[in-house]
A = this chain, B = another copy of it.
């Protein structure tokens, strides 16, 4: 990984006063930065998907708290809790958002005084993002190890991924795409299949952009092509990220993940979930307890404001789905590879 390049390609920047977010809605063709000066704007940027990807949503939430403290110096208590609660409503499914904000609040509450909350929160957030970078690299190494264990080879890999999990989503090399990037850097990758990821096109717009920036050979396919590819033996392994992994290993991720996992299981293609330990929600026992965010129908019915469907038609737009843990070959986090039995092994590794 070219650290210098990663630096230049970071999806968010903090100048000590304001947050700047690379507007991921208009990538890959235009690189524009949105200035976010307060918590209200930060909520809006997260809700509007200027920034996306579970880890970056979490980091943006932290910056949202920092921005609130900038305008409310010395304040804490109920007012801070209320601001934090408001920020958490921007994307309800991504557990990282609530998790990261709650962790920061606990840290602040442990301080002896509220005077320097702003400075403390700012430093905390910077350290948190640096830690994510270390975790991403650790995950990438574990991911390569898992593939080697299961395929008996770690070279000439034809890998497939869904949605976007690289530096745009994670701030650093990424989760699922981090494995692919590190494997490519080690000359283990022959090619990458990138599915479009409808309706928001994270795959064709963002993952393809990240791979192109790293000169990794890839081809875009429609999601429906998954069976055709695997039936014809063109996929060695599939790696995806996670928005939330619950106690039994059931995983919420971008809609289409579970569809892809079922096809992988049918053809015996290894299917890995790659996510940091902050994506685990051990209070929820199984997938049925995960709230699935329904998004605006227009994301499906129109393309860039241009209506595709007939005027009379409506749509159903669940943004996530839940992949049953029985479909998952291994869950990779920064602490290691988790294999079935997930209930036991998730608890074992994380506690």
Contact = CB atoms under 8 A, between A and B. Distances in A.
A166 to B, nearest CB: 13
A300 B228 contact: no
A317 to B, nearest CB: 8
A281 interface: no
A315 B28 contact: no
A74 interface: no
B212 A259 contact: no
A198 B198 CA distance: 9
Contacts of A128: none
Contacts of A306: 304
A204 B300 contact: yes
A57 B279 CA distance: 50
Tell me how many chains of this kind the complex includes: 2
A256 B222 contact: yes
Interface of A: 28-29, 193-194, 196-199, 201, 204-205, 208-209, 211-212, 218-229, 231, 254-263, 265-266, 292, 300-301, 303-304, 306-318, 321-322, 324
A224 B223 contact: yes
Contacts of A205: 308-310
A194 B310 CA distance: 12
6 contacts: A219-B316, A220-B314, A221-B315, A223-B256, A226-B259, A262-B266
B309 A255 contact: no
Contacts of A212: 310-313
A225 B318 contact: yes
Contacts of A314: 219-220
B223 A198 contact: yes
Nearest to A28: B310
B321 A208 contact: no
A328 to B, nearest CB: 14
Nearest to A204: B309
A96 B258 CA distance: 35
A292 B228 contact: yes
A258 B306 CA distance: 30
Nearest to A299: B222
Top 6 A-B residue pairs of the complex, sorted by shortest distance between their CB atoms: A224-B256, A227-B258, A212-B312, A198-B222, A228-B321, A28-B310
Given A208-B310, A219-B316, A263-B263, A198 B224 contact: yes
A29 B316 CA distance: 21
